[in-house]
Each structure stands twice: as C-alpha cells, then as structure tokens.
Amino acid sequence: MDIGVLKKLTRSGFILLHITVLLIVNGQVKSAGTRWANAELEAADEASDLQIYKSVVQSMEEWKQRKNSSKRQKRAETNACYPEVGCFDTSGPYGYIGMVPNRPDEVNTRFLLYSSRRSRRDTPLLDVAFTNMTSIWHWAGKAFNVSAPTKVIVHGFGSSCSNVWVYEMRSALMDVVDCNVICVDWEAGAIIPNYVRAAANTRLVGKQVAMLIAGLASKANLPVENVHLIGFSLGAHAAGYAGAELKNLSRITGLDPAGPLFENQDPKTRLDSTDAKFVDVIHSNGENLILGGLGAWQPMGHVDYYPNGGRMQKGCSNLFVGAVTDIIWSAPEVYGRSLCNHRRAYKFFTDSVSPSCAFPAVPCESYEKFLEGECFPCKDKSKCGNMGYHSDKSPGRGKMYLLTRDEEPFCAHQYIVKIYNSPSALPVVSYGKIQIVLFGQLDINETFTITNKDDAALSVGETMKKIIVPHPALQGFNRVQITYTAYKGWLSNGLSKWSIDKFILTDSYGNSQSVCQRGLVMQSEVPVVLPLYPG
C-alpha cells in the first residue's frame, strides 16, 4: 500500500475524531495516535493569522518609535500596584518595554480545570476567574487527583483556551496519562492588536499562575514537583515568570517562545533555564520578524530543540520576501500562512505525547552539518534527546537538531540513507536523480528522492547521503527499490546507466539494514528491487 493511500484512509471529515497511526507489532496491526481536529476546525484557529502578524509588526514599530522618542527626553518610570498580586514597575531589566501590565480585571485571567478521571475533554469541571480563585481550593481537594501529574497550558497572543489546538493538546495528555489539566485563559490581556501590551501582561499572568499553583499546593496538597507548565509563544514567557516566582517548579516546556521583545533580553524578563528544575524548548520559527519569524532562536532551556533547523518548517511556505511594508498589504491567503511555522511547535508537542510518535534529536555543531549526516545517528545516547513530552526522560542537554515529517503525524522516525557509487579509475560524472522506495510490513511503501535535483552531479566512488523521515506506519523494512534517472537537457545529458556497490539504511539509534551488490548496474528509469538484511 502506497503511503499516500494510507494518508487518505487516516484523514476524514468528521468534526472531531481520533486519528490512528498503524503500528505493526509482532506482525499484528495495532493503533495509536493523537486526537486531531479536521482541517476545517484547525483553519478556525488560523483565521486571524494575518491580523496577528500585522499586529506584531505594527506594534513593534510603534514601540521602537516610542523608545527612540524617550531617548531624547528622560522617561518617568511607571509603577502599578494591584490588590493581591502586588506591584510592577518599569525599572531595572523590565524598563525596556516601557509599560506595566494591565489591571487584573482588564486581563480577566480565568482558570479552566479538567481531570482525566472526572470530566469530558470538551467541558471543564470548573471555570474560575482569578478574582474568585479561592473557590478552587475546596473543589480541587475533592475533584483533583492530587497524586497525579498536573499540566498547565498557557496560550499566547491573539489566542484563548477555546482554540482547537488547546483541545487537541489537552485530549492527547488525558488520553496517555491520568492527569489534571489547567488551561490559563488570559484572552483579554492577549488581545489583538497591541502585542507590546500583551507582552507586558505576561508578568501579571505569570504571577497569577504562580499564585494558583502555590494555593493548590498549600490548600489542596498538590505537589509542586508534579506540576508541568506548557507555554506557547508569549505563554512560554508567562510560564517562565511563574516558575521564577515559585522557585521550585518541576518543569516548563516552551513552545516556540515569542521572539519580539524577549530575544537577547535579561533572563529575568523571559523564559530561562533557572525558571524550573527542567526547562525544554522547541524552536520552530526562530527567524527575523521581517522574514516572518515570531519565535526566538536564542537557547532558553536546559535543552533546546531545533526541528528542521528551527526557523522555517517543512510543509510551511517561506512566503516572506522583501520589506515588511510590501508584505503587509499582500494577499491574505498568502500572508497569513506565515504562522504555520510558529504553530508547528505545539503540533510537534501534541504528537509527541503518544509513546509511538518519537522525536529523537542529536547534538551537532550546526544544522548544516546535521543535514550532511555528520552527527547522525546518535553515537552517544547519553548526549541525545527526545523532543516533546518525553524530553525529561532523555539525558541530552544543549542544542539538538532533528528532521520531522512535513504533515501530520509529524513523528520524527529518522533514518540516514547511504548509497555507495561504484569506484572507477576514471573521474566519471553523470547527471540525474536517484529515488528509492522503501517497503515494509503489509507492503506499505513510501518514495524518497535522495538527490537534491533532477540534474544532480553523480560522481564515481562517492557516497550519497540523505536523512529521511518515513511515515510511522512504515515499519519492518524488508526491501528497497532504487531508480536512477538520467538527466536529459539542452546542454548536458546523464549517462544511460549508473552503478552502485552498497545501500545502507540506519535509524537514529544506529540500527542498520543494508544490501551489498558490488558493481550493480542500473539502467536509466529501470527500477531495481533489492532485499534488506540486518547490519
């Protein structure tokens, strides 16, 4: 079965469904996966992408103008004190933003509480405003399973807890583990168009989250070491503020922490590795704002993952070319899709909750060297990681690189393909492309192009290398089909045949399958099928 057919079978038009990925265990088909919405519902999340990006750009321009104006005259420091949450000022490391958070009643933070034992995933057991937070204590002691992990989700700019991605993440977590889930809804404080104001409000939201967790710990005996904060974009920095306030938080996961106003600032003003005992970060859009980047490239955790390089994601269009003034007035259907790269971070995390959807990652000097296969596979497992939900169970620290699939499921079951061209006494070069088809159990197969273009230069004696990411349903490889296609152009043509000596397929952990057939001649456009053997 071609993988394209499988994709059609595993994607349907129901409003909400449990998409399954086929897994073959001991020859039997089993299912696992994550709860996804259909394309129409996910599009609802993305309906405001154009407006969100415009707002960030325009808000940042206005902020820069105010900052330049304040340099010409001494700016008075502002201070605001709010009942219960305390005081905020613009002195010290917080001075660069130039404003304090809104009043709590303006931000109107709400806490939506769920328990995998007691609630439907689309209906919270409790929806409580921060101003009425004390009502949670009595209820939580009865409805929460205080011995179970507690996951706290914090959204970002132009978002809320009603977004589909929050439902998907919440459902995935509650499917896999018996847990409590809290969504922090600060929609009124993150409202479009004032991004700078929303950035300032993360300090207040972080303080409120810290007060909630501290209250649950003291009033309902919820162990702080069982609390995991998961923040997307601005929500990642709000989680960082909460962790800094609590000082003994177990874990924070930053999902593409917002870059504008936070990158390269004092660690006190952003997510930082000191905010929890373990801080893991997924960078999916760490590009310059003018090029469509809304995330931070700067490492901010104990381990920082850079899937597909961490700037632009496979399957997302790189549409930002030219000046922002040109981009702002371009077609919405083109311009708005920029947030695809930014949003990919929470999709990676949601997929990673399923134990069958791994995202192994390796340390490397650069993404370019990673792509060249210099750091792949993981040679020292004590230095490698697993991006996403299970990151805390892997030992790797520092910057990690990996490739993912370009569509759901994004699982990063990576392999490096090596094809050894036959040597020759003469410096023979041909032009063309090499494609392979991998076959697995149930005859599931998928096609990959190993060369970068149709007229790639192929040299005798060289080794062609490429990292590929098969669909997770494609397992138990048993054979490979290799096709050489000679290039036919106006100025140059490839040779009518090409020969190879060896084919090796190696996974992220160093497990290999191969076939050796010295001097195997491949006629152009004639596929050759070879069996694969362990080792």
The predicted pLDDT at position 135 comes to: 86
Angle at 230 between CA 89 and CA 158, to 5 degrees: 65
pLDDT for 3: 65
Identify the CA nearest to 414 among candidates 442, 383, 441, 375: 375
Residues 506 and 467 in one domain: yes
Contacts (Cβ under 8 Å, ≥6 apart) of 184: 109, 110, 111, 152, 153, 154, 155, 161, 205, 208, 209, 212, 235, 238
User: Could you tell me if residue 58 is inside a domain?
Assistant: yes
Residues 152 and 251 in one domain: yes
Query: Which of 402, 427, 454 corresponds to the end of one domain?
Result: 402
Indicate if 395 and 440 belong to the same structural domain: no
If asked whether residues 228 and 356 sit together in one domain, one would say yes
pLDDT of the chain, 535 residues: tens digit per residue: 676 665 554 443 322 333 334 433 333 333 334 455 666 777 777 778 888 999 999 999 999 998 888 765 555 558 899 998 999 988 889 889 989 999 999 999 999 999 876 655 678 888 999 999 988 887 777 778 888 999 999 999 999 999 999 999 999 999 998 999 999 999 999 999 999 999 999 999 999 999 999 999 999 899 999 999 999 999 999 999 999 999 999 999 999 999 999 999 999 999 999 999 999 999 999 999 988 899 999 999 999 999 999 999 988 865 544 333 344 434 444 444 568 999 999 999 999 999 889 999 999 999 999 999 999 998 888 899 999 999 999 999 999 999 999 998 999 899 999 999 999 888 899 999 999 999 999 999 999 999 999 999 999 999 999 999 999 989 899 999 999 999 998 888 999 999 999 999 999 999 999 999 999 999 999 999 999 999 8
Sign of CA dihedral 223, 229, 235, 238: positive
Report the CATH number that the domain containing residue 462 is assigned in CATH: 2.60.60.20
The active-site residue, picked from 155, 237, 342, 413, is 342
State how far the Cα of 522 lies from the Cα of 535, in Å rounded to an integer: 24
Residue 438 in domain: yes
What pLDDT score does 39 carry? 66
- Range list of β-strands (E), 244-349: 251-255, 278-282, 303-307
Whether residue 317 is contained in a domain is answered as: no
Residue 29 lies in a domain: no
Q: Are residues 443 and 365 in the same domain?
A: no
Can the peptide bond before residue 534 be classed as cis, meaning omega within 30 degrees of 0?
A: no
pLDDT of residue 239: 98
The pLDDT of residue 332 is 46
Residues 354 and 466 occupy one common structural domain:
no
List Cα–Cα distances, 115 to 103, 120, 173, 388, in angstroms.
Answer: 30, 8, 11, 22
Judgement on whether residues 75 and 159 belong to the same structural domain of the protein: yes
Q: Which of 374, 402, 430 is the last residue of a domain?
A: 402
**Known active-site residue 342:** yes
Both 396 and 518 in one domain: the answer is: no
Q: At 387, give phi and psi (nearest 5°).
A: -65, 140
The whole-angstrom separation of Cα 335 and Cα 345 is 19
- Structure confidence at residue 7 (pLDDT): 57
CA distance 362 to 379: 9
Query: Is 479 found in the same domain as 393?
Result: no
Instruction: Answer yes or no: do 423 and 390 share one domain.
Output: no
Catalytic residue among 185, 256, 272, 455: 256
Q: Is there a catalytic annotation at residue 422?
A: no
Q: Do 393 and 506 have their domain in common?
A: no
Shared domain for 392 and 422, answered yes or no, is no
**CATH code of 89's domain:** 3.40.50.1820
pLDDT at 1: 67
SS3 content of the chain, % helix, strand, coil (to 5): 30, 30, 40
Q: Is residue 98 part of a domain?
A: yes
Total domains in the chain come to: 2
| pTM for the model | 0.90
Could you say which of 359, 375, 402 is where a domain stops?
A: 402
By residue range, what is the domain housing residue 455?
415-534
Does any domain span residue 79? Answer: yes
Catalytic residue from among 233, 352, 430, 524: 233
Quickly list DSSP for 182-248: EEEE-GGGS-TT-HHHHHHHHHHHHHHHHHHHHHHHHHS---GGGEEEEEETHHHHHHHHHHHHHS-
Angstrom distance (rounded) from CA 509 to CA 379: 7
The question of whether 233 is a catalytic residue gets the answer yes
Decide if 457 is inside a domain. yes
Residue 287 lies in a domain: yes
Count the Cβ atoms, other than its own, within 10 Å of residue 47.
Answer: 10
